[in-house]
Chains A and B, each alone.
Chain A
């Protein structure tokens, strides 16, 4: 009866090794690549260190979008606001189809040394009335918008 037992020990060892590796990789991944969602208010209160990646969510401030040409590549600057604070964002690349002033947006990137948020990616979901969930919750928390009372705030209210 020795044989099946050694077989099982070897299997157990292989499983432990592999799942140990999985757990280790997961913890390492969590420690290095989790990104937090912050609203402009939270950035104004406690700005994360320059270079640390996070997700910035809010409304594209009306009248803040400026596109300039950097050689042949377009660079867009805009402000993301939650009604209490605004963060300047700079992004080079193609903006989503539904990126508009007064619409909800999530930008992924990091703060630069000058306090401008350099976005690697800008997300706006498909659907004209869509509000990113994180943004909706945050606006509701800050008292700027209650989803029960109609569409999200636009130009005048912010």
Chain B
């Protein structure tokens, strides 16, 4: 009964979203006040309907209703409660429903938080969001319905994929999806502004908080995913340049560019067409990323939810959303003349430089990610573009970005003086130089360059705070500084990881080995129980610490997974994996990862910086139109 209610709520949501789209887009032309009020109400009720559908599916998962095919295939009664709930979005149909729920909630958020917007703009924004919702809800309902029943029901479900039975599944997809989908609001603002033919400073002020919230979530989601794949062996460390990872990185790159260039629109009314294009591009990349991976066109190690038969529907939806918005842009962009004159050396130019480099990196990553499927399609040649390609192309482009990043925020708008800038950065440059020389002397050139880059960024960001009273600074400035510091911390972590030392050894109980300057002793191997698996635990002693890497055996799936043991002091991880148990001992992978925690700490700091910037007075006080008058 409850799944049928969910199914019905899903169908209702399609109708509500369709109405929201049509009334929202065409209502403002009717000169009828009711049409303008209808769109927010429809957005709220659509969100409620999708939430009911999601709740019904979660309920079916919690009570293990195996007459629902989705639950029978991806859950089981032995799975702990947390994974009966989060397993709902650990598969294709459920994950698309989660995607739709977040999209609907974004619409509701615009309806509630957008009361200060001009009524016609708000209606059109909600209309665009409604049309996107309608398309993907229709896709969920017709092609990938999570409420399909089966008869007779199996006695027990097939269970969650053991690799996904991890707290990471509960947090990573919702946070990442909020980031992906949140950019739909910036996209809808851009399309609505193009329809109205009006892009001005107010547009920058409206669109920036939405873009910034999504950017924070996307940053957090990527950091969480990277951390998850780091502690789960077999997913290739913290970053693999896998298509799924690139799919998340691409909107992050253009989204970062968007967050920066919206500042120029807001303060100086320049770069308007470019900002609108970036808003369209960012959400288009989110859509492409999510669904190219889901449709099986891109081959990935992380995708658990491929459904190749549904590719065509998705491609048509993508074509309509992306092609339609770009066509509209092509028609309307020439009318968006930019204002604001500025010199080649100025904050505006620095922000443009940031955009050029971010987009160049995005273009390179995009090419590398989509080249293999195109070549396969056109010439039938199977090849792959791996990590070396991305390292060779993206890192040289990131280097000038890092160089410019410390200086940009120190430049004033309109016109700046380089001669006055250099002395201010002398301290940061000296610190970076010392770090580089220290590692250069030990022949760690790459690590030295990376660490110096990180120190340079952090130093540059701190220079901006020098001799300014922190309590009186606008929170937007503090947030931006924190964001830059976070990026610098991540750079430090990535550079530190190049110094990692690791060894693969087989030890019998009682034996010791040396790795990464530490002595590792295997003291014993024993069995331990688990909820729906049994564990085999190795006891390792490392210079007084004890680590317990284990192997988990899942009887239902007949699968084994490794549970890495990590000891961290905040600046260095001691990492042990119990890989196999050949006769006569335990096969262990032992590693020391310097500065590894900084990679994710940096991501967290970046996201916090974004949220801090959102609490700025300027963004909280609405009604910017009045101030402009």
Contact = CB atoms under 8 A, between A and B. Distances in A.
Interface of A: 3-4, 7, 10-11, 14-15, 18-19, 21-22, 25-26, 28-30, 32-37, 55, 67, 69, 72-74, 92-98, 108, 123, 125-128, 133-134, 137-138
Given A72-B507, A74-B506, A33 B388 contact: yes
Given A73-B504, A126-B163, A108 B386 contact: yes
B589 A94 contact: yes
Contacts of A94: 233, 504, 577, 579-580, 587, 589
Contacts of B368: 26, 29
B587 A74 contact: yes
B344 A7 contact: yes
Contacts of B558: 128
B360 A18 contact: yes
Nearest to A96: B234
Given A29-B385, A29-B389, A33-B389, 6 more contacts: A25-B397, A34-B383, A34-B389, A94-B587, A95-B580, A108-B386
Which interface residue of A29, A37, A123 has the most chain B CB atoms within 10 A? Answer: A29
A18 B559 contact: no
Contacts of A95: 579-580
A33 B386 contact: yes
13 contacts: A7-B341, A7-B342, A18-B360, A22-B364, A29-B389, A34-B383, A35-B386, A37-B382, A72-B513, A92-B504, A94-B504, A95-B579, A128-B558
B353 interface: yes
B389 to A, nearest CB: 4
Given A33-B386, A35-B386, A95-B580, A18 B560 contact: no
**How would you classify the secondary structure of chain B's contact residues: helix, strand, loop or mixed?**
mixed
A26 B382 contact: no
Interface of B: 161-163, 233-234, 296, 299, 301, 304, 341-344, 352-353, 356-357, 360-361, 363-364, 367-368, 371, 381-386, 388-390, 392-393, 396-397, 503-507, 513, 557-562, 577, 579-580, 582, 587, 589
B557 A128 contact: yes
Contact of A97 (B503, B504, B562): B562
A133 B299 contact: yes
B161 A126 contact: yes
A138 B368 CA distance: 23
A128 B159 CA distance: 13
A29 B391 CA distance: 9
Contacts of B343: 7
Nearest to B401: A18
Contacts of A28: 392-393
B35 to A, nearest CB: 41
Contacts of A18: 356-357, 360, 397
A123 B580 CA distance: 16
Contacts of B587: 74, 94
Contacts of A108: 386
Contact of A22 (B163, B352, B360): B360
Nearest to B348: A7
Given A93-B504, A123-B301, A29 B579 contact: no
Contacts of B579: 94-95
A72 B360 CA distance: 46
A36 B383 contact: yes
A94 B381 CA distance: 30
A138 B380 CA distance: 11
B341 A14 contact: no
Contacts of A72: 505-507, 513
A93 B607 CA distance: 37
A4 B341 contact: yes
Contacts of A133: 296, 299
Nearest to B386: A35
A19 B344 CA distance: 19
Nearest to B356: A18
A95 B580 CA distance: 9
A35 B361 CA distance: 21
B385 A34 contact: yes
B474 to A, nearest CB: 28
A65 B117 CA distance: 67
Contacts of B507: 72
A11 B559 contact: no
Contacts of B559: 97-98, 128
B234 A14 contact: no
A127 B90 CA distance: 14
Contacts of A14: 352-353, 356
Contacts of B304: 126-127
Contacts of A36: 381-384
A145 B357 CA distance: 47
Contacts of B562: 97
Contacts of A128: 557-559
Nearest to B385: A34
A22 B233 contact: no
B335 to A, nearest CB: 17
A120 to B, nearest CB: 11
Shortest beta-carbon contacts, A-B, top 3:
A37-B382, A72-B505, A33-B388
